[in-house]
């Protein structure tokens, strides 16, 4: 299942061996009071949490960087054509 997220946090345990990544979605909410006044606020929904070994987190970070580098390189080559 695909989930849209627009916020995340990362935490490393004290021993530096385990990474926790929390994914959240900021959802705008509107409430209407008894007088009909609109009150807007944002609710943070927890979407998912991932716990992984630090080495796996490093590999994930490296892979994400490679994807961006390849994408930027491809875009640069397309502009030169």
Collect all residues with Cβ–Cβ distance below 8 Å to 33 and sequence separation of at least 6.
39
Predicted pLDDT at 21: 97
Predicted pLDDT at 72: 80
For residues 80 and 8, which has the higher predicted lDDT (pLDDT)? 8
**Residue 54 lies inside a defined structural domain of this protein:** yes
**Residue 2 lies inside a defined structural domain of this protein:** no
**Residue 38 lies inside a defined structural domain of this protein:** yes
List the domain range (segments joined by +) for residue 37.
7-80
**Residue 36 lies inside a defined structural domain of this protein:** yes
Query: Which of 51, 42, 41, 40 lies closest to 17, judged by CA?
Result: 51
**Residue 1 lies inside a defined structural domain of this protein:** no
**Residue 23 lies inside a defined structural domain of this protein:** yes
Predicted pLDDT at 67: 96
Q: For the whole model, what pTM was predicted?
A: 0.72
**Residue 14 lies inside a defined structural domain of this protein:** yes
Which two tokens mark 34?
A: 């008894």
- pLDDT of residue 81 exceeding 70, the answer is no
Collect all residues with Cβ–Cβ distance below 8 Å to 65 and sequence separation of at least 6.
none
**Residue 72 lies inside a defined structural domain of this protein:** yes
In degrees and rounded to multiples of 5, residue 74 shows phi and psi of -65, -45
pLDDT digits (tens, 9 = 90+) for 12-66: 999 999 999 999 999 999 999 999 999 999 999 999 999 999 999 999 999 999 9
Count of structural domains within the chain: 1
Predicted pLDDT at 76: 66
């Amino acid at each position: 299942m695909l989930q849209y997220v627009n916020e995340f946090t990362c935490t490393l345990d004290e021993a530096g061996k385990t990474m926790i990544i929390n994914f959240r979605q900021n959802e705008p909410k509107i409430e209407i009071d008894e007088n009909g006044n609109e009150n807007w606020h944002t609710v943070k929904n927890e979407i998912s949490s991932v716990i992984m070994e630090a080495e796996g987190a490093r590999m994930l970070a490296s892979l994400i960087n490679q994807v961006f580098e390849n994408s930027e390189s491809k875009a640069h080559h397309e502009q030169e054509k």
